[in-house]
């Protein structure tokens, strides 16, 4: 039975039919009809943010921690332009987000009306797809299509721009099932011949490595399970990008840790020295490859990806497999088992011996201190004291982010939310709110630096209003630590504008928003303070004063190959190992 | 480890495509992109080229299926083999793009362009311009005592050649459509 309703009502109905329980938004003139509908229902919870950028990051946190798309509702003009950073972030990290924006009425479009911006024009390069809906009869179908596009294939952000007169107009509602989505159906099954070829490579490889990325997590829990099965069955070592942490458990025996610019020594050298690289859902980002010409020079490279444009974009590969990771892994396991589970056991044994030697370098070593909290120490204690909890971690961007990736262990997918591709300072705090909204009883911690954290600190009000007990674990070095590190290593120690001047009193700031504020500077007090933070039933701003000049190692300087890693001065350099590969 | 026993140089859709993507030789490719004729679709395609730093040598677009609202964008671009493959893959993932055809890979395509060329002059130059136009099978579509507008159809090279000849004879203005192209055969 065809249902007639206003455009505004259709928006709310379409969201309900898409299974949406929460939206993040901020009202304004051009979305008032929709806000009026939201007021008159109880199925969808609206989280009022304090800035539209934060709304998108919250939706990202929600999406990344649940596997469901995050939804944002903002007004025209500044509402939409403020969302641009979040959209770009979600595009770079393939996070499914649906952003609904109001627009000036159709008869005002193009006249420089009040709060008018060319939203679809501005967001075209930072969305997977976007729509301007001028016909009320197409509104509900377009929203259903938006959800389909956001969540199919390589996920990403989409935007639907809705002029105000379209929200008022009455038209027929289209049910989700009736919406046309057949045109956009990315291929999920991998080519069986190519998969068989991969199995042949697996059977004979002497020095193989799995290099996994965010694609495994986007593919869903089943993909992570299949990955674990394949890694356990083959005994191949596995490393992951920043985005892929948790797909394979950090406690797993084949885990080498993260790779890349601040990745582990053993992971990077294994990538450099391998003879078979199996890339699952990673995209050879420049933070991973270092100098292209010297990237893993002697390996046969296999790349499984759902996005054809990711294949051969940076690194030419020998065997591309276009498809969804979960589907491909299922077939790989099937074919490999049917051919008798063959492996090059003697080769693998030698390979692991070499890797064990690299591990002995202990690349994450740092000089401990009794007087100052070392950031690495703070994270080690945080890991030790929180790992038993139902825990989700978000981060801001910078040194603390890399230390968090190095020192925290992730046992499951969807537990780690970080801005990888775009590197958005200000991501972590709102993302942590989005995660906590989706998982009200979990322990949600944002590992932050003080500079990043200040970029979206206005969201303290949101956390208080919605009783979101997020823990903000700020490693406060009063510096833009990563900028400072580059200036020290690459710019003659000229520290141009890389310190945090005029910082607030974080404890008082917390209290002014009704939060608990804590400050710790003595390593001896750290454990008790962390336990106090966890125990507090409400949001906590944890100001952890750390060593101001600590550098993050290992580090592959930009443009250098994997075997030219810088280690902390006190790490025992294993020169022979580097020379051998 | 045994080298891969895979045939090189098969079609770009094959999983076993192992052409040398390190090749730095640039070549021109004519792509036909079939898209939904919806608002902003051309901006998406052009934005992709400018945003990612690809070349556009020529671009034409028109709706070719009025019932199905499909447009055909013919774009002539240039790049190394790896760049061309990347362009095709990037075009392919634009949501309203239905199909990306590399007419150059499918075989030397039929390519035609239309140009309107205004030549001003009197006396011998005017007579010479008309004579050359006949040789090139260009039609006169407008004339005054001091000018002609010629309409010429052909490959871009033919139009270039004709325009070059008209230059000393008083070429005043030229308008070109860009290339429309189809693959040969059934």
The yes-or-no answer on residue A52 being catalytic is yes
Q: What's the gap in Å between the CA of A264 and the closest CA on chain B?
A: 26
pLDDT tens, A164-191? Answer: 999 999 999 999 999 999 889 999 999 9
The fold of A375-545 is Rossmann fold (3.40.50)
Distance CA A361, CA A372 (A): 25
Q: What is the DSSP string of A427-465?
A: -HHHHHHHHHHHSTTSEEEEEEEHHHHHTTGGGHHHHHH
Distance CA A475, CA B177 (A): 61
Is residue B71 within 8 A of residue B62, CB to CB? The reply is yes
Q: Greater confidence, B21 or B145?
A: B145
* Interchain CB distance below 8 Å, A197 and B16: yes
Candidates A10, A58, A482, A565; catalytic one = A482
Which pLDDT band, with edges at 50, 70 and 90, does B5 fall under?
A: very low
Is residue A139 within 8 A of residue A10, CB to CB? The reply is yes
Q: Where are the domains of chain A?
A: 3-178, 192-359, 375-545
Distance CA A312, CA B22 (A): 10
The yes-or-no answer on residue A482 being catalytic is yes
Task: Count CB neighbours of A519 within 10 A.
Answer: 17
Q: Yes or no: is domain A3-178 CATH 3.40.50.970?
A: yes
Same fold, A3-178 and A192-359: yes
Is residue A381 within 8 A of residue A533, CB to CB? The reply is no
Candidates A37, A52, A266, A550; catalytic one = A52
Is residue A244 within 8 A of residue A217, CB to CB? The reply is yes
**Phi and psi at residue A179, in whole multiples of 5°?**
-75, 135
Distance CA A530, CA A536 (A): 10
Distance CA A526, CA A547 (A): 14
Per-residue burial over B24-51, b = 16 or more CB atoms within 10 Å of its CB, e = otherwise: eeeeebbbbbbbebeebbeebbeebbee
Distance CA B118, CA B96 (A): 38
A321: chain B residues, CB-CB within 8 Å: 15
Which pLDDT band, with edges at 50, 70 and 90, does B123 fall under?
A: very high
* Domains within chain B, CATH numbers bracketed: 27-106 (3.30.70.260), 110-182 (3.30.70.1150)
Is residue A2 within 8 A of residue A173, CB to CB? The reply is yes
Instruction: For A87-113, give the secondary structure using H, E and C.
Output: HHHHHHCCCCEEEEEEECCHHHCCCCC
Instruction: Give me the residue from A121, A309, A312 closest to B93, CB to CB.
Output: A309
Q: Which residue of A has its CA nearest to B5?
A: A197
Through-space distance between the first and last CA atoms of chain A, rounded to whole angstroms? 69
Choose from A125, A181, A347 for mutation: most chain B CBs within 10 A: A125
Instruction: Give me the residue from A153, A204, A312 closest to B82, CB to CB.
Output: A312
* Interchain CB distance below 8 Å, A191 and B15: yes
Find the chain A residues whose C-beta atoms sit closer than 8 A to any C-beta of B.
120-121, 124-125, 128-129, 132, 149, 153-154, 183-184, 191, 193-194, 197, 201, 204-206, 275-276, 300, 307-309, 311-313, 316, 318-322
**Phi and psi at residue A29, in whole multiples of 5°?**
-50, -45
Q: What Cα–Cα distance (Å) separates residue A149 from each residue in A129, A155, A220? A: 8, 7, 16
Per-residue pLDDT at A486 exceeds 80: yes
The yes-or-no answer on residue A164 being catalytic is yes
Q: What Cα–Cα distance (Å) separates residue B122 from each residue in A2, A5, B87, B132? A: 71, 70, 48, 15
Instruction: Give me the residue from B16, B36, B89 closest to A308, CB to CB.
Output: B89
The yes-or-no answer on residue A24 being catalytic is no
Which pLDDT band, with edges at 50, 70 and 90, does A571 fall under?
A: very low
ipTM of the complex: 0.91
Cβ contacts of A208 within 8 Å, gap of 6 or more: A201, A202, A234, A236, A237, A274, A275, A276, A277, A278, A348, A351
Collapse the DSSP code of B117 into the 3-class scheme (helix H, G, I; strand E, B; otherwise coil) and give the result: strand
Four-CA torsion A253, A259, A263, A266, nearest 10 degrees: 50
Q: What's the gap in Å between the CA of A222 and the closest CA on chain B?
A: 25
Query: In this predicted structure, what is the pLDDT of residue A561?
Result: 87
Considering only residues 56 to 115 of chain B, which have any Cβ-Cβ distance to chain A shorter than 8 Å? 82, 85-86, 89-90, 92-96, 98
Collapse the DSSP code of A268 into the 3-class scheme (helix H, G, I; strand E, B; otherwise coil) and give the result: helix
Distance CA A467, CA B110 (A): 67
In chain B, DSSP assigns E strands to: 27-36, 58-65, 70-79, 97-102, 110-120, 139-143, 147-154, 171-176, 180-182
Which pLDDT band, with edges at 50, 70 and 90, does B92 fall under?
A: very high
The yes-or-no answer on residue A565 being catalytic is no
Per-residue pLDDT at B3 exceeds 50: no
Collapse the DSSP code of A226 into the 3-class scheme (helix H, G, I; strand E, B; otherwise coil) and give the result: helix
Collapse the DSSP code of A300 into the 3-class scheme (helix H, G, I; strand E, B; otherwise coil) and give the result: strand
CATH architecture of the domain A192-359 equals: 3-Layer(aba) Sandwich (3.40)
The two structure tokens encoding residue A83: 């969302």
Cβ contacts of A118 within 8 Å, gap of 6 or more: none
* Interchain CB distance below 8 Å, A193 and B4: no
pLDDT tens, A401-455? Answer: 999 999 999 999 999 999 999 999 999 999 999 999 999 999 999 999 999 999 9
Q: What's the gap in Å between the CA of B78 and the closest CA on chain A?
A: 16
Is residue A266 within 8 A of residue A363, CB to CB? The reply is yes
Distance CA A378, CA A372 (A): 10
Q: What is the DSSP string of A32-61?
A: HHHHHHHHT-SSSEEEE-SSHHHHHHHHHH
Query: In this predicted structure, what is the pLDDT of residue B22?
Result: 55
Cβ contacts of A177 within 8 Å, gap of 6 or more: none
Cis peptide preceding A320, ω within 30 of 0 = no
Average pLDDT, chain B: 89
Average pLDDT, chain A: 96
Is residue B132 within 8 A of residue B152, CB to CB? The reply is no
Least confident of A53-62, A532-541, B1-10: B1-10
Angle at B41 between CA B36 and CA B47, to 5 degrees: 150
Is residue A132 within 8 A of residue A161, CB to CB? The reply is yes
pLDDT tens, A200-257? Answer: 999 999 999 999 999 999 999 999 999 999 999 999 999 999 999 999 999 999 999 9
Tokens 């229902």 sit on residue: A41
């Amino acid at each position: 039975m065809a249902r007639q309703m206003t455009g505004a009502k259709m928006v709310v109905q379409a969201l309900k039919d898409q299974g949406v329980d929460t939206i993040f938004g901020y009202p304004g003139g051009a979305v008032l009809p929709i806000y009026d509908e939201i007021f008159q229902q109880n199925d969808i919870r609206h989280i009022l943010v304090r800035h539209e950028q934060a709304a998108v990051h919250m939706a990202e946190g929600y999406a990344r921690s649940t596997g469901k798309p995050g939804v944002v509702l903002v007004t025209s003009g500044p509402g939409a332009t403020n969302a641009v950073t979040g959209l770009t972030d979600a595009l770079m990290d393939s996070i499914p987000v649906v952003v609904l924006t109001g627009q000036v009425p159709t008869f005002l479009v193009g006249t420089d009306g009040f709060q008018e911006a060319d939203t679809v024009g501005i967001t075209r390069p930072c969305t997977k797809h976007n729509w301007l809906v001028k016909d009320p009869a197409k509104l509900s179908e377009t929203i259903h299509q938006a959800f389909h596009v956001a969540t199919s294939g390589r996920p990403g952000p989409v935007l639907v721009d809705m002029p105000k007169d379209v929200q008022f107009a009455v038209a027929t509602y289209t049910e989700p099932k009736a919406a046309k989505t057949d045109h956009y159906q990315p291929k999920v099954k991998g080519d069986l011949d190519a998969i068989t070829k991969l199995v042949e490579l697996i059977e004979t490889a002497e020095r193989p490595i799995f290099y996994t990325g965010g694609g495994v997590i986007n593919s869903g829990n089943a993909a992570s399970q299949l990955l674990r099965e394949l890694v356990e069955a083959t005994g191949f070592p596995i490393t992951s990008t920043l985005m892929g942490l948790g797909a394979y458990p950090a406690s797993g025996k084949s885990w080498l840790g993260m790779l890349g610019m601040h990745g582990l020594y053993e992971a990077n050298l294994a990538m450099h020295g391998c003879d078979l690289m199996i890339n699952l859902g990673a995209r050879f980002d420049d933070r991973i490859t270092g100098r292209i010409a010297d990237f893993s020079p002697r390996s046969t490279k296999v790349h499984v990806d759902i996005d054809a444009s990711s294949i051969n974009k940076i690194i030419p590969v020998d065997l591309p497999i276009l498809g969804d990771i979960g589907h491909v892994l299922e077939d790989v396991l099937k074919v490999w088992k049917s051919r008798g589970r063959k492996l090059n056991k003697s080769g693998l044994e030698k390979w692991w011996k070499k890797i064990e030697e690299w591990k002995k370098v202990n690349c994450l070593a740092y000089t401990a201190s009794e007087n100052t909290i070392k950031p690495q120490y703070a994270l080690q204690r945080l890991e030790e004291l929180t790992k038993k909890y139902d825990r989700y971690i978000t981060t801001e961007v910078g040194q603390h982010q890399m230390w968090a990736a190095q020192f925290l262990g992730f046992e499951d997918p969807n537990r780690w939310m970080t801005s990888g591709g775009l590197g958005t300072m200000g991501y972590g705090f709102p993302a942590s709110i989005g995660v906590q909204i989706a998982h009200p009883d979990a322990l949600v911690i944002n590992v932050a630096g003080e500079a990043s954290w200040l970029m979206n600190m206005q969201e303290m009000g949101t956390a208080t209003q919605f009783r979101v007990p997020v823990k903000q674990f700020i490693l406060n070095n009063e510096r833009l630590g990563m900028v400072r590190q580059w200036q020290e290593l690459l710019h003659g120690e000229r520290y141009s504008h890389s310190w945090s001047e005029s910082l607030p009193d974080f404890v008082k700031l917390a209290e002014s928003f009704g939060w608990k504020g804590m400050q710790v500077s003595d390593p001896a007090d750290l454990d008790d303070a962390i336990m106090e933070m966890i125990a507090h039933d409400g949001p906590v701003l944890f100001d952890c004063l750390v060593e101001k000049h600590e550098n993050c190692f290992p580090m592959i300087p930009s443009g250098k190959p994997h075997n030219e890693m810088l280690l902390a001065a006190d790490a025992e350099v294993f020169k022979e190992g580097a020379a051998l590969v | 480890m045994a080298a891969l026993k895979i045939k090189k140089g098969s079609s770009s859709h094959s999983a076993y495509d192992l052409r040398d993507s390190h090749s730095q030789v640039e070549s021109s490719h004519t792509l036909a992109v079939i898209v939904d004729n919806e608002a902003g679709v051309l901006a998406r395609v052009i934005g992709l080229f400018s945003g990612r730093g690809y070349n556009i040598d020529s671009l034409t677009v028109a709706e070719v299926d009025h019932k199905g609202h499909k447009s055909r964008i013919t774009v002539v671009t240039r790049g190394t083999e790896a760049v061309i493959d990347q362009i095709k893959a990037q075009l392919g993932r634009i949501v309203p793009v239905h199909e990306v055809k590399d007419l150059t890979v499918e075989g030397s395509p039929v390519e035609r362009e239309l140009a309107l060329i205004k030549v001003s002059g009197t006396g011998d130059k005017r007579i010479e311009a008309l004579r050359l136009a006949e040789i090139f099978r260009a039609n006169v579509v407008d004339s005054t005592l001091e000018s002609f507008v010629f309409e010429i159809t052909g490959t871009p090279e033919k139009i270039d050649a004709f325009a070059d000849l008209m230059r000393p004879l008083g070429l005043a203005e030229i308008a070109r459509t860009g290339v429309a192209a189809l693959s040969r055969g059934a």
